[in-house]
Amino acid sequence: MASLGEARMPQRVVTTSPLIVLIENDAANRMLAEMILSRAGYRLHSAADGQTALALLEGEVPALILTDLSMPLLDGYGLARALRARPRYAQVPLVAITAHAHAEERQRALSMGFADVLVKPYRREQLLALVERRLAGAAHP
């Protein structure tokens, strides 16, 4: 698991499982998601904001990107626009993570190209089910 933005100490785990990029501003929430996904066997790179995530994305194209919407420097919507403008990442499924459960936020995210929206607080089972669903969708569009 690599975590940038706070510790600035990238780490990489060498396995063949799908690579997921997690962008979450809140350190506690980010650590929770990191631990859940790592325990489930996914390779994970993480960042605390969209700008750091873009730098992180210069390497391998991930199978899935999970991003908070409200973040400093570059928020989730800005990150989505930046990714969709890059052919290399245009097809990577994006999932929005937000504390705002109202329909307007969900609709805005979907209209911006997010494949799904995960509302905080979420349960481990919700996160893993969503990830599995989106990875399966990416493999069999």
Partner 1 sequence: MKIRLRYFAALREALGQTEEALDLPAAATIAQVRATLATRYPAIAPILVRCVAARNRAFAAEDAALAEGDEVVFIPPMAGGREVAQHHG
Using CB under 8 A as the binding rule, whether residue 32 contacts partner 1 is answered as: yes
Distance CA 59, CA 81 (A): 19
- Of 8, 9, 14, 28, the one binding partner 1 by CB under 8 A: 28
* Size of interface with partner 1, in residues (CB under 8 A): 19
- Of 13, 27, 110, 129, the one binding partner 1 by CB under 8 A: 27
Q: Taking contact as CB under 8 A, which single stretch among the options 28-36, 55-63, 84-92, 131-139 is the one that binds partner 1?
A: 28-36
> Considering beta carbons, is residue 8 or 123 the nearer one to partner 1?
123
Going edge to edge, which strands form the sheet with 64-68? 2-3, 43-47, 19-23, 64-68, 94-98, 116-119
Q: Taking contact as CB under 8 A, which single stretch among the options 13-21, 24-32, 53-61, 79-87 is the one that binds partner 1?
A: 24-32
CA quadruple 111, 82, 41, 34: dihedral sign:
negative
Using CB under 8 A as the binding rule, whether residue 108 contacts partner 1 is answered as: no
Pairing of strands 43-47, 19-23: parallel
- Cβ count near 33 (within 10 Å): 25
